[in-house]
Structure 1
Amino acid sequence: MDSSFDIITDEEVQEVRSALEDGDLCKATERISEYLEEIENAPLNIAITGESGTGKSTFVNAIRGMDDDEEGSARTGVVETTMKPTPYTHQQYPNVTVWDLPGTGTPHFAAADYLESVQFRQYDFFIILSSERFKLNDIVLAKEIQAMNKKFYFVRSKVDSDLHASQVRRKKTYNEEAILKEIRDNCINNLSDGGIAKPQVFLLSCLELDKYDFHEMQNTLEKELPEHKKHIFLISLPNISLPILEKKREALRKEIWKLSTLSCAVATVPIPGLSVAVDVGILVKAMRNYQSAFGLDEQSLEKLANKCGKDVSELRSVIKSPLVVQEINKELVLKLLSKGAGGALMLAEYAASNIPVLGSMAAGGISFGTTYWMLLGFLKEIAEDAVRVLTKALESDV
């Protein structure tokens, strides 16, 4: 059976179970709703800092899946264009904000004053960018951030430019892996000499975000972020590689039990029509979220097609699920619900006997099974279609 049932925490089990044992179904349902709300609406504030000219604004755009010339993108230029902390909201997830902070490379820069002026307390973590070697200002700033108990990560940007320059100069001896190691070692040694213990440096190109150390950085952030921030961080990442699509699939899969348990709880309330109405609402919202997370809504498909120089019809041609290309609304979900009883019955008995929360809610087992079965199936289909679409988008026409 699917291991996503394991995602339920001891604390959540105890709270919901206690409410059920007290006969307080409203409280149990309320707690599950709160858990979902906390995950879906958790604010995430990412601060991007470093000296001017390191590519901060381009990185702000890239991490939001945007090009520099798109409406709503951070302003970029060869001189410092950010004079005060500027928030850029994620287009699809408004609770995710990437902050473009002023450059640190000024004669009067003082780390403590800088952090106070940019209101450091509001950020979940800092990314310190450098396009060359990390300098004294970067080291001083990192120490101040650490002293204030905040997380920071070093990103060495523009490595694609370094590689290109090396390729031009060293036509016979060019070795990409050796050059990247040389850049990384130089950065680490420089930071260590400055008093940063065990510095971790990620090599990136904002123009080719999926290359080099991006996935390593993503994995590090995922491990170190609090649970309620981790989910929204993963879901908001741009769909630039197959590993990211798989991470999103896993993150969304782990939330299905909560949606299904909420459906189950409502099913035990003896109000005609209430269960179906709630199930429809849960399914419509979740399925739309999946469509958006994987970039298979119409706007995202057109954007990807333009970015990769493809016709959007080429991308649509590899989508196999008939559900993915339809408008997800109440009418569609009602049709699917009428066909979902078979899968629901298969899961109902397992749910009642193996999930602690549901032991005293067996009457809602069918509702749990229907919601769980439908969401798991739709997630599988849309994730597989997302892989096909991205593979097609990245396919060379040569």
Structure 2
Amino acid sequence: MSSQYSDINEAIWASGKPTLEEATRCAQEKINDMLNISLSIAVTGDTGAGKSTFINSIRNLAADDEGAAKTGVVETTVEPTPYQHPTMPGVVFWDLPGIGSSTFLAKTYLKQVQFDKYDFFIIISSERFRENDIMLAKEIQKRKKLFYFIRSKIDNDIRAESYKRSFNREETLSKIRRNCQENLKEFKNAKVFLINCQVRNLSEYDFKLLVSTLMSELSEKKKQALIQSVPIHSLEILEKKVKMFEEAVWAAALLSGGIAVVPLPGLSLACDASILVAFFTSCYHSFGLDDKSLERLSERVNKPHLKALRKSPLVLGLASESTMRLQLSALVGQSVVEYLCSLVPGVGSGIAALMSFGCTYKLLKNGLKDLADTARIVLREAGLQ
């Protein structure tokens, strides 16, 4: 019991609130933010620059997957088109028509594409950033929203230069960066990222830098949506995800503890199970342990056995969507005791809350560690250090 008091005091401290009641309200908000936050990202650029390919890759989809954005050598986007993240419906990438066409004139573009609905803009070019791209960035800047330039198809530039006897990969990349900066000299410290937009090669060049930059500039809530949704291409990105979920364990457990105070038979068990299911399912998909993510990774690194590394009962249960995956039997007996304690005036409710918190807290911490360790094993085997 003393360790449970210590855990719950630590959770209240983490919430920044003085009482259990206030901390529980804070916990509800934090869990809602983590599981239901929205993020709308606008992606625009010239025809053939790689907009749709980037939107597919950052959602870890191939061009022929269900829900993938259409790609092609001609303009396929004639109006702003939303593409939801496959496991996080609140995260939406908007494929915007290229600016400067007869339908979308530069001077009225932002109004036509409904500027206010997007959290930030990504402007993609496969060559030089055009006058219309620069004009768009200026208008976004005036309205005080974030925007980023992506120079795509870097592999084509590298391939073209590689035939020269004097070829040096890093010097070629530096030259491309200098050219981009010169092209965008009207912007002080223009944020330009060299990206290979194909899903197989997304992690090359500046993708990690792009993610880090967004993490440092987005609000805390939007940052949570971003880090959950980006595909894992390195151990570094995985650890960012793990840390985010570790910081939310106290909130999920406090939410369970707060629910246990209500003297209604079965309520705590149902809510504990719901909290655990939502939390672990989010971790499972965010860590890239689902079938589709592992299949994509296996293809990319040519190691078809990666899925077989999922050996823990929790991970296998989540993969099969089994109700046994959360070891609910451990909660059933606990729930009965919680209910009896909650009927005792005064102290009873506090004991029920403490017991529910302790049980859920332990399950959450152990389950998160199990999922994170499995993901680390997969990434190391895939060679993504």
Both structures adopt the same fold (TM-score exceeding 0.5): yes
Find 2:369's aligned residue among 372, 380, 383: 380
Give 2:153's match in structure 1, choosing from 149, 158, 177.
158
Q: Is 1:322 the equivalent of 2:313?
A: yes
TM-fit CA distance, 1:369: 2.3
Q: CA, structure 1 residues 113+269, in 2 after alignment: closer, same or farther (shift >3 Å)?
A: same
Equivalent-residue separation in structure 2 for 1:202 and 1:336 (angstroms): 50
Structure 2 residue corresponding to 1:284, chosen from 263, 277, 284: 277
Q: CA 1:328 to 1:256, structure 2 compared with 1: closer, same or farther past 3 Å?
A: farther
Shift of 1:28: 6.5
Aligned residue number for residue 129 of structure 1 = 124
Match of 1:200 among 174, 179, 191: 191
Which of 239, 244, 254 is the aligned partner of 2:237?
244
How far apart, in 2, do the equivalents of 1:216 and 1:233 lie? 14
Provide structure 1 residue ranges, at least 5 long, that are not aligned to the other structure: 342-359
Query: Does 1:59 pair with 2:54?
Result: yes
AA aligned to 1:367 is: S
Mapped contact 1:50–1:103 kept (Cα < 8 A): yes
Once residues 339 and 246 of structure 1 are traced to their aligned partners in structure 2, the CA distance between those partners, rounded to angstroms, is 33
Residue equivalent to 1:346: none
Pick closer, same or farther for the CA change 1:361–1:197 going to 2, 3 Å. Answer: farther
The number of equivalent residue pairs is: 359
CA deviation profile, 1:290-337 (whole Å, cap 9, x unmatched): 2122222334434444555543xx123323423211245444434563
Shift of 1:203: 0.8
* Percent of aligned positions that are identical: 45
Task: Name the TM-score, length of structure 1 as normaliser.
Answer: 0.82
- Structure 1, 153-162 or 66-75: larger mean CA deviation: 66-75
- Compared with structure 1, are the counterparts of its residues 309 and 71 closer, same or farther at alpha carbon in structure 2 (3 Å cutoff)? farther
Asked if 2 retains the 8 angstrom alpha-carbon contact of 1:111 and 1:144, the reply is: no
Are the structure 2 counterparts of residues 183 and 332 from structure 1 closer, same or farther at C-alpha, using a change threshold of 3 Å? Answer: closer
Report Cα offsets for 1:74-121 as digits up to 9, x if no partner: 111112221111111111111111111111254786434011111111
Structure 2, unaligned runs of 5 or more: 1-5, 335-348
State the alpha-carbon separation in 2 of the partners of residues 188 and 5 from structure 1.
47
Matched, 1:256 2:245: no
Q: Go from structure 1 to structure 2 and tell me whether the alpha carbon gap of 1:188 and 1:336 turns closer, same or farther (over 3 Å shift).
A: farther
How far 1:370 moved relative to its partner? Answer: 1.9
| Alignment partners' CA distance in 1, 2:249 and 2:333 | 16
Residue of structure 1 equivalent to 2:85: 90
* Paired residue type of 2:308: S
Cα distance, 1:242 vs structure 2: 1.8
Task: Work out the CA distance in 2 between the residues paired with 1:70 and 1:7.
Answer: 45
Structure 1 residue identity aligned to 2:216? K
